[in-house]
A and B are shown apart, each in its own frame.
Chain A
Amino acid sequence: MRRITVTEVSKTFTLHNQGGTKLPVLDRMSFHVDAGECVVLYGPSGCGKSTFLKMLFGNYLADQGSIEIHSEEGVVDLVRAHPHEVLTLRQQTLGFVSQFLRVIPRISTWDLVCDPLKRQGIDPTEIDERVAHMLKRLNLPESLWHLAPATFSGGEQQRVNIARSLILDYPIVLLDEPTASLDAANREVVAGLIADAGERGAALVGIFHDDTLRSHVADRLIHLEAVA
């Protein structure tokens, strides 16, 4: 089953305040991802992997082409979608694990991870069970659960981030170097979570610098080259 169809997508950044410099990043890129498949974006740094992943989340806008997201409600083209359609997709269809946790000050780890479940109106007892299970699986000590992650280590923050982004079974999961700041044991845990997501039928698109993890999870590699 098709989940993502990308057709002829291009993107150029125009830096108006730096003499109108134009930075072409992607040039007529096309590919697709099916349910249960893990596609890895691969290429030298600066080739636009991260930019592309952000476009799949509606965080960056494509200049041309189309990015079709297939969900139960139909097909939405992110390049032309109304902001509300993008927000709905993010609540129900698109999960994103970013490289760093954008720290929301003063909100506890527990509340951060609960939030996506609450928005879905899931039963509070079930929420408690799922959140506790996820935090345990990611080896986050219980003493941290009710603290705000601002003072946590990079690896701890990243695990909060992963917990929050994978707590819902999104049909599409985008991963931007999810294991960059994790030790070997926790990288294993994340590899396990990724495998689980694939088995339940999620379409995965990711960037992984870690060669072992990449070859372990990737069904397909997409090579990106810097656009000159």
Chain B
Amino acid sequence: MRDPILSARHLTREYAPGQGCLDIELDVWPGEVLGIVGESGSGKSTLLRLLSGQERPDTGSNRFFTSTDEWVELTEASESHLRYLGRTEFGIIHQNPRDGLRLRISAGGNIGERLMGVGERNYGDIRARAAQWMQEVEIDPARIDDKPLYFSGGMQQRLQIARNLVTNPRLIFMDEPTGGLDVSVQARLLDTLKRLVQELGIAVIIVTHDMGVARLLADRLLVMKNGRVIESGLTDQVLDDPHASYTQQLVASILQVN
């Protein structure tokens, strides 16, 4: 088996007793989608921020294997190194697209900015790739000069995805990417995400409280409760044969359509 791309050990960040993340151990392999599920307050968003270097842990290690074949200890990396990795190797898709976009610069500018961050300078190339990525996420490229402030929530989320993927990251962090969207818009966005993840072979860590989203996208699942991982395994195994009491409760609460 290949080596993991991200490897966390004993990762802990405790805000108050039992709140935050406690002694987390996980590995993420290239090309896989790892789902993190659990109720609000279970620590899953904290874990995502720790893993992506947006927040420092109290203790523990979190190592990332770069495209230049080096292990970087993210918990000790400098802010500037983390920002560099954020531009080149990571993508972060926020639940609220307003946190991941600049609403007052054009759609093309939002995508182009990431490319300029990795050293692209040719205006024509940047604009062409922005248009191509808008098409890839099913936004009409004719809107390239429009500001995302005037886009619908679903379109903003698509633009955020395009902005993240344009620099070919190897690992994407997603926090409830379909959270604030209508069900029909969610469905289309999930289709797009699934297709892109498969085509590009990128690794994804996705936090969600929606078991349907987890089943559709994730290869493996971690179930969190009170800051700890209480169950993990293949997605269909965890959802169809849950062992922990809490996981059984979580699965039993899914509304069965069909």
Which stretch in A36-44, A57-65, A191-199, A213-221 binds the other chain? A57-65
On whether the beta carbons of B240 and A17 are closer than 8 Å, the reply is: no
Q: Which of A200-227 contact B (CB under 8 A)?
A: none
* Residues of B in contact, count (CB < 8 Å): 22
Q: A61-B237, A61-B243, A82-B1 are in contact. Are A106 and B187 (CB under 8 A)?
A: yes
CB-contact partner of A83 in B234, B248, B252, under 8 A? B234
CB-contact partner of A60 in B29, B191, B241, B248, under 8 A? B241
When distances are taken between beta carbons in the complex, the residues of chain B under 8 Å from A87 are 219, 234
When distances are taken between beta carbons in the complex, the residues of chain A under 8 Å from B237 are 58-61, 83, 86
On whether the beta carbons of A16 and B245 are closer than 8 Å, the reply is: yes
* Residues of A in contact, count (CB < 8 Å): 20
When distances are taken between beta carbons in the complex, the residues of chain A under 8 Å from B219 are 83, 87
Q: Is A103 an interface residue (CB 8 A)?
A: yes
When distances are taken between beta carbons in the complex, the residues of chain A under 8 Å from B191 are 106-107
CB-contact partner of A54 in B188, B220, B240, B258, under 8 A? B240
Type the 1/0 row for B60-99, where 1 means its CB is closer than 8 Å to any CB of A: 0000000000000000000000000000000000000000
Q: Which of A9-43 contact B (CB under 8 A)?
A: 14-17
When distances are taken between beta carbons in the complex, the residues of chain A under 8 Å from B32 are 84
Q: Which of B172-196 contact A (CB under 8 A)?
A: 187-188, 191
A16 to B234, CA, bound (A): 21
Type the 1/0 row for B212-245, where 1 means its CB is closer than 8 Å to any CB of A: 0000100110000000000001101100110111
Q: Is A105 an interface residue (CB 8 A)?
A: yes
On whether the beta carbons of B245 and A17 are closer than 8 Å, the reply is: yes
When distances are taken between beta carbons in the complex, the residues of chain B under 8 Å from A107 are 191
A83 to B218, CA, bound (A): 12
Q: In this complex, what residue of A is CB-closest to B232?
A: A83
Chain A nearest CB from B246 CB (Å) reads 8
On whether the beta carbons of B240 and A83 are closer than 8 Å, the reply is: no
On whether the beta carbons of A83 and B258 are closer than 8 Å, the reply is: no
CB-contact partner of B234 in A15, A58, A104, A105, under 8 A? A58
Q: In this complex, what residue of B is CB-closest to A83?
A: B234
On whether the beta carbons of B187 and A105 are closer than 8 Å, the reply is: yes
Chain B nearest CB from A80 CB (Å) reads 12
A86 to B243, CA, bound (A): 18
Chain A nearest CB from B3 CB (Å) reads 12
Chain B nearest CB from A113 CB (Å) reads 16
A86 to B187, CA, bound (A): 28
When distances are taken between beta carbons in the complex, the residues of chain A under 8 Å from B233 are 61, 83
On whether the beta carbons of B248 and A61 are closer than 8 Å, the reply is: no
Q: Is B122 an interface residue (CB 8 A)?
A: no
CB-contact partner of A84 in B1, B236, B249, under 8 A? B1
When distances are taken between beta carbons in the complex, the residues of chain A under 8 Å from B216 are 104
When distances are taken between beta carbons in the complex, the residues of chain B under 8 Å from A86 are 234, 237
A54 to B241, CA, bound (A): 10
Q: A58-B237, A61-B237 are in contact. Are A17 and B220 (CB under 8 A)?
A: no
Q: In this complex, what residue of A is CB-closest to B252?
A: A17
CB-contact partner of B249 in A17, A54, A61, under 8 A? A17
On whether the beta carbons of B245 and A59 are closer than 8 Å, the reply is: no
On whether the beta carbons of A83 and B187 are closer than 8 Å, the reply is: no
A106 to B29, CA, bound (A): 29
On whether the beta carbons of B29 and A84 are closer than 8 Å, the reply is: yes
Chain B nearest CB from A59 CB (Å) reads 6
Q: In this complex, what residue of B is CB-closest to A13?
A: B241
A85 to B219, CA, bound (A): 12
Q: Which of A82-107 contact B (CB under 8 A)?
A: 82-87, 103-107
Enumerate 8 A-B pairs (CB-CB under 8 Å) in ascending A order.
A17-B245, A17-B252, A59-B234, A60-B237, A83-B220, A83-B233, A87-B219, A106-B191
A interface residues (Cβ-Cβ under 8 A, vs B)? 14-17, 54, 58-61, 82-87, 103-107
Beyond contacts A16-B245, A61-B237: 9 other A-B pairs, Cβ-Cβ < 8 A, are: A16-B248, A16-B249, A17-B252, A59-B236, A60-B241, A61-B243, A103-B258, A104-B216, A106-B187
B interface residues (Cβ-Cβ under 8 A, vs A)? 1, 29, 32, 187-188, 191, 216, 219-220, 233-234, 236-237, 240-241, 243-245, 248-249, 252, 258
8 tightest Cβ-Cβ pairs between the two chains A and B: A16-B245, A60-B241, A83-B234, A83-B220, A16-B248, A17-B248, A17-B249, A59-B236
